[in-house]
Amino acid sequence: RIRKLRRSAAMSFPKRYFVNSLQDYRVGNETFADKNWNSQIQQTVNIITDRQKRSVKAAEGGLYVGVAGVGYMLYHMSLSPTFVGEKSKLLEKGLAYIQPALEYAESNKNDKSQKSAFVLGNAGIYAVAAAVYHALGDRNNADRYLKAYIDSAANCKPLNFLRCGGDELLVGRAGYLSGVLWLEKVFGKETFPAKDINELCKCIMESGRKYAQRHRSPCPLMFSYYDVEYLGAAHGLSGILQMLLSFPAYLQSDPKAEQDVKASVDYLLSLQSPSGNFPCATDELGSRARPEADELVHWCHGAPGSVVYLMAKAYLYWKEDKYLRSCLKCGDLVWMKGLLKKGPGTCHGVAGSGHVFLLLYRLTGDPKHLHRAHVFADFIFSPEFSQGARTPDSPYSLYEGLAGTVCYLVDILKPDQAAFPFFDV
């Protein structure tokens, strides 16, 4: 009986998310369709720029929680037609946040694990520096940092360059490839030698096949990070597969590679629970499953918030409806459990959940998803959220904090061009 009571209490007060009592879309209730987020964006940016230190020390954590992420936010705003009048001011300001990050990168440039890490290391800082200089029309500096990025590829080619696992998105090869995709979009041309890209994709395939064989995995490609077989975006399988799928020229050059990638995507798809969730890691499968295993509904871990991007790519690539159905299930689960108490950010916060709706809107054109994106954004500024959500450790940062929220609001203004930072290009 006590257990039953405890269970029902837990169900009425979930610890990870606010119960969603927001109004879902109905034809005629598009109250948010014309909402102007400008003043909310400006206010939030003022809070960030007033409070975020611009020191070399504050650059630790790369784009994820370091100052470079704030530089990226200002750059992202400068691209929006809404802020076109402030473009050069935003870019100059962005540069002021990138400079200490470049100093930080210079100070640790001999640290091999930092060099090619995109989200958490120097490569991401070089990429954003190149983009900001490019937008400012400073060709010398843009070329200099682009070259620094291209050169850092060599560092992540040796198969075991990171003993903890070098294939994933935050520090590994998949992250490096996500930077390649982003930079090609920024510079509007094929900036990277195809040979380098193919080599990196081949390394990932070889690493995944070897690991899967050694550990008798049911999935043809499997990877581990610090001995955990993560499945979500942050360190896991879905982020890695998404990057492989983003380079069709490589897959088309090797039918066996495409076959293994597809079988791996289908393996992941088979793990989606009836509620729409995905496990965080393979140690949550089968008899070793923990009761709370189904709880994480984040972008980073085991969640529809990240695997949905892979399923969307798979749908666009193979045009099979099962992938689209999976995406829609992800969206419905995020609507139920995505008002996360961890904060307003992208990695494990409400903005990250909202990005799922922006993706589904782009994929289907259904106004329901745009409505959901708007009401999630609105919730971030509600009294319920400010009283009940926790303050992230890095409250102004791109992945945990308000800089990510700003990027999300900027994307809502132009949903057809929205993208989770560096991830869904």
Query: Which of 134, 298 has the CB closer to ligand GSH?
Result: 298
Is 348 one of the binding residues for ligand GSH (CB under 6 A)? yes
For residue 210, give every residue at least 6 positions away whose Cβ sits within 8 Å of its Cβ, in sequence order, or none: none
User: Which residue do the tokens 């990510």 mark?
Assistant: 404
| Phi and psi, residue 402, nearest 5° | -70, -25
Is 392 one of the binding residues for ligand GSH (CB under 6 A)? yes
Distance of closest approach, residue 358 Cβ to ligand GSH, in angstroms: 21
Query: Which of 329, 342 has the CB closer to ligand GSH?
Result: 342
- Which amino acid type is present at position 338? G
Cβ–Cβ < 8 Å for 343, 388: no
**Residues 32-71, mask of contacts with ligand GSH (x by CB under 6 A):** ----------------------------------------
Alpha-carbon span 215 to 208, nearest angstrom: 11
Query: Which of 384, 393 has the CB closer to ligand GSH?
Result: 393
Distance of closest approach, residue 303 Cβ to ligand GSH, in angstroms: 9
Is 119 one of the binding residues for ligand GSH (CB under 6 A)? no
Query: Which of 298, 368 has the CB closer to ligand GSH?
Result: 298
Burial 341-365 (b: 16+ CB within 10 A, else e): bbbbbbbbbbbbbbbbbbbbbbbee
Across the chain, which distance is largest between two alpha carbons, in Å?
71
Distance of closest approach, residue 215 Cβ to ligand GSH, in angstroms: 23
| Total residues belonging to the chain | 425
Cβ–Cβ < 8 Å for 351, 401: no
**Of the ranges 35-43, 84-92, 250-258, 292-300, which one interacts with ligand GSH (CB under 6 A)?**
292-300
Query: Which of 65, 146 has the CB closer to ligand GSH?
Result: 65
Distance of closest approach, residue 394 Cβ to ligand GSH, in angstroms: 7
**Of the ranges 38-46, 114-122, 123-131, 296-304, which one interacts with ligand GSH (CB under 6 A)?**
296-304
Cβ–Cβ < 8 Å for 352, 301: no
Closest CA to 167 of 123, 226, 110, 112: 226
Residue 24 per-residue DSSP state = P
Cβ–Cβ < 8 Å for 273, 206: no
Closest CA to 65 of 392, 306, 302: 392
Closest CA to 132 of 94, 85, 182, 185: 94
Is 301 one of the binding residues for ligand GSH (CB under 6 A)? yes
Is 92 one of the binding residues for ligand GSH (CB under 6 A)? no
Q: Which of 298, 355, 369, 372 binds ligand GSH (CB under 6 A)?
A: 298
The three-state secondary structure class of 228 is strand
Distance of closest approach, residue 245 Cβ to ligand GSH, in angstroms: 23
Distance of closest approach, residue 379 Cβ to ligand GSH, in angstroms: 17
Is 393 one of the binding residues for ligand GSH (CB under 6 A)? yes
Closest CA to 403 of 392, 411, 393, 395: 395
Query: Which of 260, 400 has the CB closer to ligand GSH?
Result: 400
Query: Which of 117, 197 has the CB closer to ligand GSH?
Result: 117
Give the Cβ contact number of residue 385 at 10 Å.
18
Query: Which of 342, 371 has the CB closer to ligand GSH?
Result: 342
Distance of closest approach, residue 280 Cβ to ligand GSH, in angstroms: 8
Encoded tokens for 248: 């069709």
Cβ–Cβ < 8 Å for 121, 109: no
Distance of closest approach, residue 157 Cβ to ligand GSH, in angstroms: 27
Alpha-carbon span 196 to 268, nearest angstrom: 28
**Residues 250-269, mask of contacts with ligand GSH (x by CB under 6 A):** --------------------
Query: Which of 300, 350 has the CB closer to ligand GSH?
Result: 300
Is 125 one of the binding residues for ligand GSH (CB under 6 A)? no
Alpha-carbon span 84 to 78, nearest angstrom: 6
Q: Which of 48, 119, 183, 234 binds ligand GSH (CB under 6 A)?
A: 234
Residue 334 per-residue DSSP state = H
Site for ligand GSH in 308-347 (CB under 6 A): 342-343, 347
Distance of closest approach, residue 41 Cβ to ligand GSH, in angstroms: 21
Is 403 one of the binding residues for ligand GSH (CB under 6 A)? no
Query: Which of 328, 336 has the CB closer to ligand GSH?
Result: 336
Cβ–Cβ < 8 Å for 293, 280: yes
Is 400 one of the binding residues for ligand GSH (CB under 6 A)? yes
* Binding footprint of ligand GSH on the chain (CB under 6 A): 234, 296, 298, 300-301, 342-343, 347-348, 392-393, 400
